[in-house]
Structure 1
Amino acid sequence: MRTLFVVGGLLVAAAAQASAAPKAPVQWHVKAAPKTVKPGAKFNVTITGVLDPGWHLYALEEPQGGPVATEVALTEGDAADLIRVEEAKPRVLPDPLFQQPTGYFEGSADFTLHLQAAKEASATSGLRILVKYQSCNDRVCLPPHTDTITVPFTIAR
């Protein structure tokens, strides 16, 4: 009887794992960020998307009728304003799925956010960076997805 419960438990666990959402092919990390920022100061944060082999991520600007371009933004109420976003130079090649040249990254993609700390921010603050992106391989594109990256830092007077 005990064996039946163990086997039944394993089957339930396997079914739950099979129905769980698949792992996204892009994992986001903070590559560089200051630990302390003065109120009103300009600073940079660099994030990196690490892509699974065979997958690619699109650039910040894409042609009409092409893939969904990557978008980087901050959440409402963050302790800084986003001035601009820079990306590493993407590869530009004909995309077989969209049948036109697209800019994309393979392996990894770095994005540098140029920011300005709020002048009236609380002593302990941070950022929540939103990255909306579409990832594709040579056969299929996943629907656009938004990930949140938390960047802790302190506003010091």
Structure 2
Amino acid sequence: MKKITLVLSMVLFTIAGAFAQIEKPVTWAYSAKKTSKTEAVIYLKATIDDRWHIYSQNVKDGGPVKTTFTFAPSKDFSLVGKTIEPKAIVKYESTFKMNVSYFEKAVIFQQKIKLNKGTTVVKGKVEFMVCNDKQCLPPEEVEFSVPVK
């Protein structure tokens, strides 16, 4: 009888662990807007849960993983300049023993492109790290695909 109870308990805890929620405090949305026949802007928006933040693209070495955008090469378009971001919050974080730049609630990154074709799809990935005042989650990579019409 003890063996059956032990086996049932183990099965119950295994099932409960499988349904444990994985924290995903950041969601991404993407869009594009043509600014002329030959240019467009790609918008990459991060919506961040309360009490969490993601880091700027401009974090110095030795700190948290900075947000990085990588765009897949294409004959249909070329990048114009670097991905831009709004002004970030800058604060000292004792975890990293340095001032870091980060965003809370939401942030929209923008990448200008020159179109070599009327319509295209811009593909790539974003790597980012999210933290709150108690913990940091491992860096994450998310792929994106943005149609430009």
What is the TM-score when the length of structure 2 is the normalising length? 0.78
Greater mean alpha carbon deviation, residues 126-135 or residues 49-58: 126-135
User: What is the 5 A alignment of 1:6-155?
Assistant: 16-18=18-20, 22-30=22-30, 32-34=31-33, 38=37, 41-77=38-74, 79-83=76-80, 84-117=82-115, 119=116, 121=117, 125-154=120-149
CA distance in 2, matches of 1:28, 1:85: 16
Q: Are the counterparts in 1 of residues 34 and 41 from structure 2 also a CA contact under 8 Å?
A: no
Structure 1's consecutive aligned runs of 4 or more residues displaced over 6 angstroms after TM superposition are none
- Measure how far apart 1:15 and its partner are: 5.1
What is the TM-score when the length of structure 1 is the normalising length? 0.74
Q: Supply the RMSD in Å over aligned alpha carbons.
A: 2.5
Q: Are the counterparts in 1 of residues 34 and 40 from structure 2 also a CA contact under 8 Å?
A: no
Give CA deviations for 1:23-48 in whole Å, capped at 9, x if unaligned.
42110112x4127974xx12211121
Unaligned runs of 5+ in 2: 1-11
Q: Are the counterparts in 1 of residues 67 and 127 from structure 2 also a CA contact under 8 Å?
A: yes
The number of aligned residues is: 136
Unaligned runs of 5+ in 1: 1-10
Identity %: 29
- Measure how far apart 1:69 and its partner are: 1.0
- SS of the residue aligned with 1:54? coil
